[in-house]
């Protein structure tokens, strides 16, 4: 994704951020983080990517 990333801002419920922060602590040994330590942003990107994939599987991919 590096090079084609665009920044966006969204409001999130505090309880969801607390859950994400808990995952940051637990994901230190995840294969995605062999080169660096997990951050809130990185965990959110993984969660969003997996969630979009799940929604695409449920609703089908739209062609652009």
Distance CA 33, CA 13 (A): 26
Q: Is 19 strand, coil or helix?
A: helix
Instruction: Give the total number of structural domains in the chain.
Output: 1
Element of type H or E holding 10: none
Is position 29 within any domain?
yes
The per-residue pLDDT string of the chain (64 residues; one tens digit each, 9 = 90 and over) reads 567 889 999 999 999 999 999 999 999 888 888 888 999 999 999 999 999 999 999 998 766 5
Q: Domain of 19?
A: 14-59
pTM (two decimals): 0.79
Task: Name which of 38, 2, 1 is nearest 20 in CA terms.
Answer: 38
Helix axes 40-59, 14-26, angle to 10 degrees: 110
35 part of a folded domain: yes
Identify whether 48 is part of a domain.
yes
Residue pair 24/38 in contact (Cβ under 8 Å)? The answer is yes
């Amino acid at each position: 994704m590096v090079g084609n990333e665009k920044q966006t801002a969204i409001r999130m419920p505090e309880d969801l951020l607390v859950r994400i922060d808990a995952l940051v602590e637990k994901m230190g040994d995840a294969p995605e983080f062999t080169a660096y330590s997990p951050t809130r942003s990185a965990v959110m990107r993984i969660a969003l990517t997996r969630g979009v994939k799940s929604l695409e599987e449920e609703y089908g991919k739209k062609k652009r």
